[in-house]
Amino acid sequence: MDNSETLLQGKSSRDDSIDYHKLSGILNYKIEDNQIRFNFKNASLVIRFLTADIFRIIMANSKQQFNYKSTEAVIDHNLSYNDFKFEENNKELIIKTEKLVIKIEKEKFFLQVFNKEGKLIHQDYSKYSLGWKKKKLRAWKSFKNNERFYGLGEKTGWLDKKGRLYEMWNHDTFVPHVSDTDPLYQSIPFLISFNQNNSYGIYFDNSYRTYFDLGSEGQPYYSFWAEGGVLDYYFFNGPSLKEVISKYSKITGTMPLAPKWSLGYHQSRYSYYPQAKVAELVKKFRDKEIPCDAFHFDIHYMDQYKIYTWNEDRFPDPAAMISKMGKEGIKAVTIIDPGIKKDPEYKLYQEGMENDYFCKYLDGKVFIDKVWPGNCAFPDFTQAKVRNWWSGLQQDFVELGVKGIWNDMNEPAVFNEEDTMDLAVMHQNDGDSGTHRRFHNLYGLLEDQATYKGLKESLDNERPFVLTRAGFAGIQRYSAVWTGDNRSFWDNLKLAMPMLMNMGMSGISFCGTDVGGFTGNSNGELLCRWTQLGAFSPFFRNHCEVRAISQEPWSFGKKYEKIIKKYIELRYKFITHLYNLFYQASKTGIPVMRPLIMEFPEDEECQNLSDQFMFGDSIMIAPVYQPDKDKRMIYLPEGKWFDFWTKEIYHGKKHIIIDAPLATMPILIKAGSIVPLNEKLNYIGEKEIESLELNIFLSEVNNSGSYELYDDDGISYDYQNGIYNITKFDYKYTDNQIIFKINSIQDNYQQEFKDYKLIFNNLTKEPLNIDVDNSKLTKFNYFNNSLEFKVPVTVNKITIKLS
């Protein structure tokens, strides 16, 4: 007897795998262009090829309606591949593409995937592959040796998700988020199996409540299932982690290029009012010269929590206030909840009732339940007409000057037993209706889609900013995500790292936590450490709860303020680089904030390294996340690493202990890289950045490096008409010279930089002379193994002769 059955008979087991009806016994099959359709006695299944290494499996039993409908997560990708070969013998079916060989053992429909070299990449669990139990549908898969699991979106715990059961059900989780709290606000049913030789991904496209059990009871298999719908999943072959993620992005989309200001620092609390308080806050930031790009307005700005209204006592003239903030470079982001107050005199409630926009029961009764405004109705975002209406609502706020919308409570959260809508409530979904059980996890995604579209239509050639709490796979196409109601305690600072890294690997590049912590009171030390981490999180916002003490950068005294300011400034110095990372993510889906394993896939130490991360491919961040620490142990992968602060060089493939007093968060730069840094700004667009610093971290002689920089106006859609620049910098360091080249690949955008300041670090040989294109450079500085000089941006080639 194998140990799964021993376990399953054990009293404590919750795994009901043995009770499922298992798929078996193919009756017949048919090849139809890019797919093969199989009929079983009481089920049907299709394998459809999208590319030579992305395929999709859809299965339903005869009581469930087989269909090819994807959820809203999947984009119109037009991917289709029919160039496969098919063979059959008495035991097996064999499908060959240019990249994969798929073998299916006929009796149990046991599926195995091999790569071109014949190596096994993935296989079903040997005893059961697919099955159902009433409305539930389930797949069982084999573990591999040395396998790690990543992805699954916004989950607590370590980087490696192995060994736990995860639920996908968008939920307003106000209890403390500790290492096994589940579920939270987002559902991203995308799992990555990492293996040094060959990683793969599985995206389970099902919006019902779903589960992933990665061995929580010690089972010899992992498994995922849904409470309804059909079983519909995609398989993405890597082989690398980066390839798995970009292939997933081909199906669910990448984030659009964000407005550059949204990469700046955001200040929030629940809530800033009245208007005079906001003015005071603007003044404080500017007097203290603490950079800031946005203020968030939480629910108290509204009149009785009625969305798209303003409380006139608190905000007599929002347009004037927003315009004044705008002059100081601070944009307004307003919170919106989906619940619409049931008030016959409230315009949105009237419009919703008159036009049948709200979710209702089958008998026609509108679902009403309590949220902040008291009794509310909820827009049925599954209907195009409702999304259009919602899009149209953005216009008035955009006219007031609002630049971003913060969608909260969109799980949707409701103050009742279920914490959400009654599951029997219907969604019309334009003719393909279903209950809330089917649409719950899509509610936030659809709201964000409507918000994003509306903002885009209302803004004048400006990119919108949307921030959301709830979401589903594909959310990156419309919105940034913050991780909801964390706590002002150290545990949440630690939890933030693996959570954000896994969100990044699940397509959500633009993510961040409430810096300082949401519930409970923060303190100076915690806020310093959190701001340090926040400065390198893709989304950077300080936010706290209504009862919490103030946690603006200056709230805990001068000593802390100085440190906090230093890191917010640092964020802005890295903004050219950060924007470039956002650009790359928008193209490829490869996240801004990455686990080390993505850059060092060979290094076993990195596989579950949860407290360090990469900011792009060359900068490593090692935050301090415990109180009273002034040292940090850091793992350095192979190669040389520069301490960003001291320029000291460390040799990798080992752990080091580095000084990290409160004012210092360790930042290590991989030798061989080029890191652009710009001067400090009080906000994006404050002034033209005339000079861009290019920091070259030389490894050793006979080494080279490069960096490709994307740049545009940071706000408009002109880049879609080719108005952008791509500049490639590269250097070659040989025995007697360094050749540095600047190549313009695209230069349609009138760039702000006038010159580059080159800083070569770790140059142990003295420069004899420097040629800039055809002339000699007379002004340069060489000191302490560091060479510095400026060149105009028009220069193409620099030759540094060495002694």
Catalytic residues: 408, 411, 485
154 lies in the binding site for ligand MIG (CB under 6 A):
no
Q: Is 517 in the site for ligand MIG (CB under 6 A)?
A: no
Which 491-510 positions form the footprint of ligand MIG (CB under 6 A)? none
User: How far is it, in rounded angstroms, from Cα 141 to Cα 220?
Assistant: 9
Rounded least distance, CB 174 to ligand MIG, Å: 7
Closest CA to 472 of 175, 55, 59, 71: 71
Q: How far is the CB of 517 from ligand MIG (least distance, A)?
A: 11
What are 399's two structure tokens? 């006219």
Contact 263, 210 (CB under 8 A): no
Rank residues 195 and 542 by Cβ distance to ligand MIG and give the closer one: 542
Overall residue count recorded for the chain in this entry:
803
Residue 485 engages ligand MIG in binding (rule: CB under 6 A): yes
Contacts of 418 (CB under 8 A, 6+ apart): none
Cα separation of 41 and 309, whole Å?
58
Q: How many CA atoms lie within 13 A of 705 on its CB side?
A: 21
Residue 98 vs residues 49, 51, 116, 527: alpha-carbon distances, Å: 12, 9, 8, 53
In angstroms, give the least distance from the CB of 301 to ligand MIG: 10
Identify which of residues 182 and 485 has a Cβ nearer to ligand MIG in the complex: 485
Pairing outcome for strands 54-61 and 514-515: unpaired
Angstrom distance (rounded) from CA 177 to CA 157: 10
794: nearest Cα among 757, 760, 756, 758:
756
For the segment 228-287, give every residue that binds ligand MIG (CB under 6 A): 270
408 binds ligand MIG (CB under 6 A): yes
Least distance in angstroms from the C-beta of 335 to ligand MIG: 6
| Nearest-10 Cα torsion for 310, 314, 317, 321 | -100
- Omega within 30 of 0 (cis) for the link into 623: no
Within residues 530-549, the interface with ligand MIG by CB under 6 A covers 543
Spell out, one character per residue from 421 to 460, where the chain touches ligand MIG: x when CB under 6 A holds, - when not.
Answer: ----------------------------------------
Query: Smallest distance from the beta carbon of 556 to ligand MIG, in angstroms?
Result: 21
**Rule CB under 6 A: which of 11-70 touch ligand MIG?**
none
CA dihedral 24, 25, 31, 35 (to 10 degrees): 0
- For ligand MIG, the closer of residues 74 and 348 by Cβ is 348
- Distances in Å between the Cα of 358 and the Cα atoms of 228, 354, 378, 382 are 24, 10, 5, 10
State which residue, 53 or 408, has the beta carbon closest to ligand MIG: 408
Q: 703: part of which helix (H) or strand (E)?
A: strand 703-711
Smallest gap from Cβ 299 to ligand MIG, in A, equals 4
State the greatest distance between any 2 C-alpha atoms of the chain, in Å, as a whole number: 87
Which pair of tokens denotes residue 751? 């760039």
Pairing of strands 404-407, 775-777: unpaired
**446: phi then psi, degrees, rounded to nearest 5:** -70, -35
Q: Confirm if 620 and 668 have CB atoms less than 8 A apart.
A: yes
> What pairing do the DSSP bridges indicate for beta strands 593-594 and 667-670?
unpaired
Closest distance to ligand MIG from the beta carbon of 408 (Å) = 5
Based on CB atoms, which residue is closest to ligand MIG, 517 or 672?
517
Nearer to ligand MIG, 230 or 409 (CB): 409
Using alpha carbons, select from 631, 627, 701, 710 the residue that is nearest to residue 665: 631
Which CB, 163 or 374, lies closer to ligand MIG? 374
Closest-by-Cβ residue to ligand MIG is 270
CB of 373 to ligand MIG, least distance (A): 12
Q: At closest approach, how far in Å is the CB of 469 from ligand MIG?
A: 6
Task: Give the footprint of ligand MIG on residues 694-733 (CB under 6 A).
Answer: none
Q: Which two tokens stand for residue 175?
A: 């209890």
- Identify which of residues 335 and 696 has a Cβ nearer to ligand MIG in the complex: 335
Residue 590 has which token pair?
Answer: 């490869």
**Cβ distance 236 to 57 under 8 Å?**
no
- Using the minimum distance from each CB to ligand MIG, give the nearer residue, 47 or 184: 184
DSSP string, 343-392: -TT-HHHHHHHHHT-B-B-TTSPBPEEEETTEEEE-B-TTSHHHHHHHHH
Count residues near ligand MIG (CB under 6 A): 10
Q: Minimal distance in Å, beta carbon 489 to ligand MIG?
A: 17
Least distance between ligand MIG and beta carbon 173 (Å)? 10
Question: Closer CB to ligand MIG, residue 243 or residue 485?
Answer: 485
Q: Tokens at residue 7, please? A: 């376990």
**HEC readout, 9-67:** HCCCCCCCHHHCEECCCEEEEEEECCEEEEEECCEEEEEEEEECCEEEEEEEECCCCCC
Out of 160, 293, 298, 369, name the contact with ligand MIG by CB under 6 A.
Answer: 298
408 versus 611: smaller Cβ distance to ligand MIG: 408
Closest CB to ligand MIG among 188 and 414?
Answer: 414
Q: Alpha-carbon distance 177 to 179, whole Å? A: 7
Residue 472: CB minimum distance to ligand MIG, A: 18
State which of positions 343-382 bind ligand MIG (CB under 6 A). none
Interaction of residue 469 with ligand MIG, rule CB under 6 A: yes
571 backbone dihedrals φ, ψ, rounded to 5°: -50, -45
Q: Which candidate, 362, 463, 359, 347, places its Cα nearest to that of 414?
A: 359
Write the burial class of residue 501 (CB in 10 Å: 0-12 exposed, 13-18 middle, 19+ buried): buried
The contact pattern for ligand MIG, residues 171-200, with x = CB under 6 A and - = no contact, is ------------------------------
Q: What is the three-class DSSP state of 412?
A: coil
**Nearer Cβ to ligand MIG, position 514 or 561?**
514
Q: Is the peptide bond before 412 cis (omega within 30 degrees of 0)?
A: yes
Give me the least distance between CB of 375 and ligand MIG, in Å please: 16
Query: Given the rule CB under 6 A, which residues bind ligand MIG?
Result: 270, 298-299, 335, 408-409, 469, 484-485, 543
